[in-house]
Chain A
Amino acid sequence: MRLTQGQFSFLPDLGDAEIKAQIDYALAQGWAIGIEFTDDPHPRNTYWTMWGTPMFDVKDPAGIMMEVTACRDAHADKYVKLLAFDATKGFETIRMSFIVNRPRDEPGFELLRSEGVGRRIGYALRSYATARPPAARYAARAGS
């Protein structure tokens, strides 16, 4: 499956020039850019791992691209996304979010159903990617 979280997942994957154009836009708005990565793309996994704190003081798009590249190199087989944080009153939230790296294989999710009273069904989504415990997942990657 193709994970379609983020602003541009229905488009062909963005190239570096396209990513940089979006960075330019975010910086022009005065937003701070952060980079996060994960191997667990569950839609309710709010807190991906931060690749450092949001770059509040980096105004140079080339500097941010270097961090994007470094994170992608270090986590080539994980999801990496770029976020823009807006500190303006009335927002104080994320204003942009798009994926800049995907694993080669996106295994997707299993939909678990548990039958309850009446015809009620309790639903749960399980990431196939996180089927094994973290230590095993990360050890395997480190060795590969």
Chain B
Amino acid sequence: MNEMAGSGITDLKQRYRPGVLKYRQMGYWDPDYEPKDTDILAVFRITPQDGVEPEEAAAAVAGESSTATWTVVWTDRLTDCEYYRARAYRLDPVPGTPGQWFAYIAYDLDLFEEGSIANLTASIIGNVFGFKPLKALRLEDMRIPAHYLKTFQGPATGIVVERERMNVYGRPLLGATMKPKLGLSGRNYGRVVYEALKGGLDFTKDDENINSQPFMHWRDRYLYCMEAVNKAMAETGEMKGTYLNVTAATMEDMYERAEFARDLGSVIVMIDLVIGYTAIQSMAKWARRNDMILHLHRAGHSTYTRQKNHGISFRVIAKWMRMAGVDHLHAGTVVGKLEGDPNVVRGYYDTCREIHVPRNLEHGIFFDQPWASLKKLMPVASGGIHAGQMHQLLNYLGEDVVLQFGGGTIGHPMGIAAGATANRVALETMVKARNEGRDIWREGPAILAQAARWCQPLRAALDTWRDVTFDYASTDSVDYVPTPTLAV
């Protein structure tokens, strides 16, 4: 076998002699390639096995995620195979991390079926993650060209229309996940929904694993929840909603549940990430047809998003979910109990809700990403947050977000409605102060303490949770230096 160091072998007779070639000899490493505007781009973090050159590892990733197999096949010559081959075109060492590289790969648009996350992912993350010459592989980011984005529906409702339907402007929306997650009867469950909505929340939420268990079947839950929603609306004069989880074993079951929720007048249904990309796209189309907001809980994602060296960055999942068409996506809190470096979370939020996301390595964004007027997706902050953090939440997460206080509402010492009121008062106080030009980052605790003088529920919330923080080192930060060593 020819051990030449360059990229492809140009003599076609040599190139297609039966046997095994290095991937870069087959043409999958092409440092001179200029990506086209229509190309789908991916950047992978690769950790080659000892002795495997990074160029060869990058070429292997390009090959295995596009046209290649482990050996030369003559049937390539029946096709315009140069055209279909993905190309690794750039390789940067990961700053401060010996043995890892960022490999940039370009894929022609024709490698993918229009409007199909399943097809896109079958290539990009299909076989390649188990490839033996790599110790580990992580998909860090993708650039989806507008040409391909336009073949997707995008969010069924989007932030703007969701706000117009809910009649809520100028502040984050407030929600809470019902607790305990499991075991409540339908009647008792509806009580929690009612109290939380009456107290001042916009939304309540089923948890990811509430489907239709022996203690509470789904129809029972929906009926009691809608009584709670309507009663709370009558008592406050505000629009209210509860995310009815329609996750189930089959699409037929999910459609049946979603239709029942619709018929009962719910404004929103929810699904879990574990149902799979195709099911998510089906539900997004259903939601668009039925004027329904579609909430997605990212159940399961941490199995592959959290470790820096292997898996998929959540910013890629967020991108796929905006294309797939959900309206809500859990995207981190920074300050709560779940993983979330501030810069990384900022990258997720931008991906969800900006109309153009510029390259920003500090936030983990490797490419300019235009969104081609796909609607904006509402990020959801959930997990271990409480009223005392309101200034931090507003500062980190901004206004277009659903802040979900589960324990921080239901665990309130004066009851659920008081917990909801504490959160709402804290939120309105903080938005008002920000608009008045006050420096909420520094003055936040004082602003809350002042409101707590006239609002007893807020006082009790602050007293209960004042010292609760989740201050652990992040496992998924960006590896970035202001001037990358090999930047082109």
Contacts and interface: CB of A to CB of B under 8 A. Distances in A.
Contacts of B451: 11
Given A7-B170, A94-B163, A1 B236 contact: yes
Contacts of B237: 1, 3-5, 41-43, 108-109
Contacts of B169: 7, 83, 93-97
B230 A90 contact: no
A101 to B, nearest CB: 15
B459 interface: no
Contact of A7 (B223, B239, B428, B437): B428
Contact of A111 (B231, B238, B431): B231
Contact of A43 (B167, B265, B376): B167
Contacts of B429: 11
Nearest to B166: A43
B148 to A, nearest CB: 20
Interface in B409-435: 421, 424-425, 428-429, 431-432, 435
A141 interface: no
Given A43-B167, A90-B355, A96-B169, A8 B421 contact: no
B481 interface: no
Most A CB contacts (10 A, CB to CB) among B230, B237, B451 go to B237
A42 B234 CA distance: 9
A125 B421 contact: no
A115 to B, nearest CB: 12
Contacts of B376: 90
Interface in B341-378: 354-355, 376
Contact of A25 (B235, B354, B436): B436
A33 B429 CA distance: 21
Nearest to A25: B435
A125 B238 CA distance: 11
A85 to B, nearest CB: 10
B160 A119 contact: no
Contacts of A25: 435-437
A44 B233 CA distance: 10
Contacts of B171: 7
B167 to A, nearest CB: 6
B32 interface: no
A61 B265 CA distance: 41
A121 interface: yes
Contact of A93 (B164, B223, B226): B164
B355 A43 contact: no
A21 interface: yes
A20 B36 CA distance: 52
Contacts of A122: 265
Interface in A87-130: 89-98, 108-111, 119-123, 125
B81 interface: no
Contacts of B235: 1, 108-109
Contacts of B265: 122-123
Contacts of B354: 90
Contacts of A71: none
Given A25-B435, A25-B436, A84-B170, A10 B236 contact: no
B170 A97 contact: yes
B236 A111 contact: no
Contacts of A95: 169-170
A11 B234 contact: no
Given A7-B170, A12-B454, A43 B163 contact: no
B436 A123 contact: no
Nearest to B458: A10
A11 B424 CA distance: 9
Contact of A4 (B227, B238, B263, B454): B238
A3 B425 contact: no
A43 B238 CA distance: 5
B264 interface: yes
Contact of A121 (B163, B227, B424, B454): B227
Interface string A72-86: 000000000001100
B142 to A, nearest CB: 22
B170 A123 contact: no
Nearest to B220: A119
Contacts of B54: none
Given A91-B160, A95-B170, A120-B263, A21 B234 contact: no
B175 interface: no
B63 interface: no
B408 interface: no
Contacts of A97: 167, 169-170
A4 B237 CA distance: 6
Given A10-B424, A22-B435, 17 more contacts: A3-B238, A4-B236, A10-B428, A21-B436, A25-B436, A43-B167, A44-B239, A93-B160, A98-B170, A108-B234, A109-B237, A111-B233, A120-B263, A121-B223, A121-B226, A121-B227, A123-B230
24 contacts: A1-B235, A3-B237, A5-B238, A7-B171, A8-B428, A8-B432, A9-B428, A10-B421, A10-B424, A10-B425, A12-B454, A22-B436, A25-B435, A25-B437, A43-B237, A46-B167, A93-B160, A93-B164, A94-B170, A96-B170, A109-B234, A110-B234, A111-B231, A122-B265
The list of the 8 closest CB pairs from A to B, nearest first, reads A111-B234, A96-B170, A123-B230, A25-B435, A90-B355, A3-B237, A97-B169, A7-B170
